[in-house]
Amino acid sequence: MKGSKAIVGVFSYLDDTIKAVESAKEAKLDYQVYSPVPNHYLEHATSDTRSPVRFFTSLGAVTGLTGGFALAILCSLDYPLRVSAKAIASVPAFVVIGYECTILLGAIATLTALFHFCRLPDIFRKVGYDPRFSDDKFGVVIGCESGQIDEVSQKLKDAGAEEVSVKDGL
């Protein structure tokens, strides 16, 4: 987050939170919303792009599909042993392997992407976080320089913040 200070506003209501976000966006300030639950309206207010996780997923899935088939076929060809007159590389049987590998690698890729984009695990950096944010409160954290503290605090209060505090930014 840009800025040396972080101003934390605690909200009880979603519409207030959205207001605060919008005013921060207007002021071109860097902000961060903490919410106990994802919300369509909030998402609409904050986000601009779709999550790129899905690209990782499809990459993983394609790798899994080809890898699964490749594993089965190459392993069978490496030490060719006939079973019951079936072909050494009997593709119909390997569909299951390919299928399961698609899902496995797809899921693992998704998980990796999720962790990557969410910067998880992220145990120690919680600027402006308040335990109530996992309960029923919303939090809007705005990053600013020391000079802007009052101005930003006022913005949050205007939006309907119940509490505003100032923390050291990162």
- Which CB sits closer to other proteins, 14 or 149? 14
End-to-end Cα, the chain, rounded Å: 7
- Which CB sits closer to other proteins, 5 or 16? 16
Per CB under 8 A, which of residues 115..134 are in contact with other proteins?
115, 117-118, 120-126, 129, 131-134
Distance in Å, CB of 61 to other proteins, minimum: 8
Interatomic CA distance for residues 25 and 159, integer angstroms? 13
Residue 156 burial class via C-beta count within 10 angstroms: exposed 0-12, middle 13-18, buried 19 and up: buried
Interatomic CA distance for residues 92 and 23, integer angstroms? 59
Rounded to the nearest 10 degrees, how much is the dihedral formed by the CA atoms of 126, 128, 134, 135? 150
Distance in Å, CB of 148 to other proteins, minimum: 21
Instruction: Number of residues interacting with other proteins: please give it, by CB under 8 A.
Output: 75
Distance in Å, CB of 146 to other proteins, minimum: 24
Neighbours of 38 (CB within 10 A): 7
Distance in Å, CB of 15 to other proteins, minimum: 4
Interface with other proteins, residue 66, by CB under 8 A: no
Per CB under 8 A, which of residues 87..116 are in contact with other proteins?
87, 90, 93-94, 96-97, 99-101, 103-104, 106-108, 110-111, 113-115
Distance in Å, CB of 147 to other proteins, minimum: 26
Residue 19 burial class via C-beta count within 10 angstroms: exposed 0-12, middle 13-18, buried 19 and up: buried
Per CB under 8 A, which of residues 4..63 are in contact with other proteins?
12-16, 18, 32-39, 41-47, 50-51, 53-54, 57
Q: Pull the structure tokens for residue 61.
A: 């899935």
